[in-house]
Amino acid sequence: MEKKATRIGFSEELAILGAENEKIFVIDADLGKSCKSDKFGATYPEREINVGIAEQNAAGVAAGLATCGKIPFVVTYAIFAALRMGEMVRQEIAYPRLNVKIIGSHGGMSPARDGASHQAVEDMGVMRTIPNMTVIMPADYWSARKLTRAITEFDGPVFIRFTRDSIPIIYDDSVEFEIGKAHIAREGEDVAIIANGDTVHIALEAADKLATEGISAKVLDMHTIKPLDVEAVQDCIENIGKIITVEDHNIINGLGSAVCEVVAEMGKGKVKRFGIQDRFGESASYERLIEKNGITVGAIVQAAKQMIATDLVEVI
Amino acid sequence: MTKRTVEELKEFATDLRKKVVTMLYEAGSGHPGGSLSAADYVTACYFSEINVDPKNPKWEDRDRFVLSKGHSCPVLYAALATRGFFDEEILHTLRKEGSILQGHPNMECPGIDIPTGSLGQGLACAVGMAIGLKYDKKSSRVFAVLGDGECQEGEIWEAAATANKYKLDNLIIFVDNNNLQIDGTIDEIMPLGNLVAKFEAFGFQTYEIDGNDMEQILLTFDNIRKTAKNGKPKCIIGHTIKGKGVSFMENVCDWHGVAPKKEQWEQALKDLGEGI
Ligand SMILES: Cc1ncc(C[n+]2csc(CCOP(=O)(O)OP(=O)(O)O)c2C)c(N)n1
Ligand SMILES: [Mg+2]
């Protein structure tokens, strides 16, 4: 299967958007080469502001530009975007609901060898907790492109997270994505797997494996964790009753938590969460880090079979 | 600390550089440029100036060392191993699963006093250490190493102001002034202006030297010792060459964060001379 990092999809679409829309600005913080916004910068140098290694400043500059009717994209690693700029994002971007796009590249375990300091396990949770924020993680190159376009057309603050490492391309140019609307990647009846970002392809593989064992799994690509597609989750509970969530993020306060909030209020159904096990990352290969946190096709398949076999609610 | 000659220290610096390129080659990722530019200063610290005990890394009276530009940790790991903080064999495990030598340093590695990697944060921690050591009436000092790009972070200047207010004459900053960051030169990305004047304005006693010149580094340490108790934090602006010692890496921005491949590694070792 062909692979590409989602930051590449972002980079290419942003360069195209730059030609179409003169309001777009990029605020880099010395990670333009790394996050691939340098492509935009090379073509539209007058609309690339590189503030240097100063993320807090980058957030403020973006807020100011947004008040002038521009559409600033602040670009850095997910961990710095969510936590270093966190309060600036809250006070100066989310609170006044300014039209700033916060680009968190190198999300989850994807800055693998760099270790814990660079791996973002809490970013989507932090951003999800801030009022007015929209929080997104695309699952492949194509959805990264489509969603980069979608957030540009959307008016309001957005945090969008990309991967450093290459991940399988699962869609093609014909698939459309809407902010806040789950994408049904696979229809199924026995169990629903709700995943996002770099784990969607793992969910699809698990569904393939389950199919060989006569189990039909629905796979939802929940690229937007806020606003969550509540109806899609409710539908899974009403019609299937069993949900497995998968994410490259702490199991606390990410996709799994968001899904559980809906399920708990419904008062029925079962959920099993897969994600980073509330611990810091470490230096290792990306694949190993995902596997070490129990995010594997085998474990998902087993969990699905167990959920189908019993009525016990499993909580990690 | 044993008195070593400039020549001996230069050999140690070359040895650290060789270790750095080998570690990075074996790891397949990491940051050569900033490790090599800081190698002379790190050598002067660990093989001449600072007071640490490899057998007792948490010794309370030790000098503290904060590599605020944490991505340059390969050179620090090489120094720590050579000083005997841990087995030199461990250098081969850099960035590998389960290693104490993480891509950016953490406190599981003996000799690391604070985790770094997110730029701009180490100096504040060094300030806290300097305040704590002073409060406890210890004569220990705190050595912090900063990147020039890193000085674009606001927290650096918040910490510098704190060092001045609390008269931290036990704090010694070294700015590895190699004029390169990731996206380009410092002057292109975000000019720092006159760093010496800036730190002076923040109340520091400043020194401007060739940060790759062992003699100048040692001389500066001598001068700092003479004015040790003058109530002023010290700052050495060390002009350095990013990638220093490896011909094809010197002053090349793209060698910030990529590891050498086999042929490049062999060439690098050649550049660093045989011997040792
Ligand atoms: C807060 C933060 N922002 C961005 C980065 C990514 N980053 C790692 S090294 C680097 C450039 C550092 O330049 P400089 O401080 O001059 O170090 P040196 O040239 O000595 O390598 C950047 C932007 C980071 N580690 N931390
Ligand atoms: Mg530099």
**Whether A21 and A137 share a structural domain:** yes
Give the global pTM: 0.96
From A145, A168, A191, the end of a domain falls on: A168
pLDDT tens digits along A227-274: 999 999 999 999 999 999 999 999 999 999 999 999 999 999 999 999
pLDDT tens digits along A48-62: 999 999 999 999 999
From A143, A168, A193, the end of a domain falls on: A168
Q: Relative to the alpha carbon of B151, which ligand is closest?
A: 1
Inside any domain, residue A175 = no
Q: Give the chain B residue nearest A288 (alpha carbons).
A: B97
Centre of ligand 1 from the C-alpha of residue A53, in Å: 7
User: Which atom belonging to ligand 1 lies closest to the Cα atom of B257?
Assistant: 9
**Whether A198 and A274 share a structural domain:** yes
- The predicted pLDDT at position B1 comes to 63
Read off the pLDDT of each residue in A148-166 and give the average, rounded to a whole number: 98
- The predicted pLDDT at position B20 comes to 98
Asked if B117 lies within 8 A of A114 by C-beta distance, the reply is: yes
Domain count of chain A?
2
**Whether A96 and A148 share a structural domain:** yes
Out of A46-50, A223-227, A307-311, B18-22, least confident range: A307-311
- The predicted pLDDT at position A310 comes to 80
Inside any domain, residue A312 = no
B244 lines ligand 1 (CB under 6 A): no
Give the residue numbers of A marked as catalytic.
55
- The predicted pLDDT at position A315 comes to 47
* Residues by chain with Cβ below 5 Å of ion ligand 2: B 147-149, 178, 180
**Whether A199 and A280 share a structural domain:** yes
DSSP letter string, chain A: --EE-HHHHHHHHHHHHHHH-TTEEEEESS-HHHHTTHHHHHH-GGGEEE--S-HHHHHHHHHHHHHTT-EEEEEEEHHIIIIISHHHIIIIIITTT---EEEEES-BT-SGGG-TTT-BSSHHHHHHHSTT-EEE--SSHHHHHHHHHHHHHS-S-EEEE--SS-EE----TT----TTS-EEEE--SSEEEEE-GGGHHHHHHHHHHHHHTT--EEEEE--EEES--HHHHHHHHHHT-EEEEEEEEESSSSHHHHHHHHHHHHT--EEEEEEE-SS---SS-HHHHHHHTT--HHHHHHHHHHHHH--PPP--
**Whether A56 and A199 share a structural domain:** no
- The predicted pLDDT at position B275 comes to 47
Domain span holding position A70: 3-168
Closest in A53, A80, A118 to B152, CB measured: A53
- The predicted pLDDT at position B274 comes to 63
- The predicted pLDDT at position B206 comes to 98
pLDDT tens digits along B129-185: 999 999 999 999 999 999 999 999 999 999 999 999 999 999 999 999 999 999 999
Inside any domain, residue B239 = yes
Domain span holding position B72: 6-271
Task: For residue B110, say if its preceding peptide bond is cis, omega within 30 degrees of 0.
Answer: no
- The predicted pLDDT at position B3 comes to 83
**Whether A154 and A233 share a structural domain:** no
Inside any domain, residue B1 = no
Centre of ligand 1 from the C-alpha of residue A56, in Å: 15
Inside any domain, residue A176 = no
Read off the pLDDT of each residue in A125-140 and give the average, rounded to a whole number: 98
> Does B99 lie at the interface with A, CB-CB under 8 angstroms?
yes
Centre of ligand 1 from the C-alpha of residue A33, in Å: 12
**Whether A229 and A159 share a structural domain:** no
**Whether A253 and A161 share a structural domain:** no
Asked if A115 lies within 8 A of B29 by C-beta distance, the reply is: no
**Whether A13 and A127 share a structural domain:** yes
Domain count of chain B?
1
pLDDT tens digits along A66-102: 999 999 999 999 999 999 999 999 999 999 999 999 9
Inside any domain, residue B276 = no
Q: Give the chain B residue nearest A292 (alpha carbons).
A: B97
* Per-10-residue mean pLDDT, chain B, length 276: 89 98 98 98 98 98 98 98 98 98 98 98 98 97 98 98 98 98 98 98 98 98 95 98 98 98 98 73
CATH of the domain at A290: 3.40.50.920
CATH of the domain at B102: 3.40.50.970
**Whether A141 and A240 share a structural domain:** no
List B residues 117-146 in contact with A (Cβ-Cβ < 8 A): 117-120
Read off the pLDDT of each residue in A7-17 and give the average, rounded to a whole number: 98
CATH of the domain at A130: 3.40.50.970
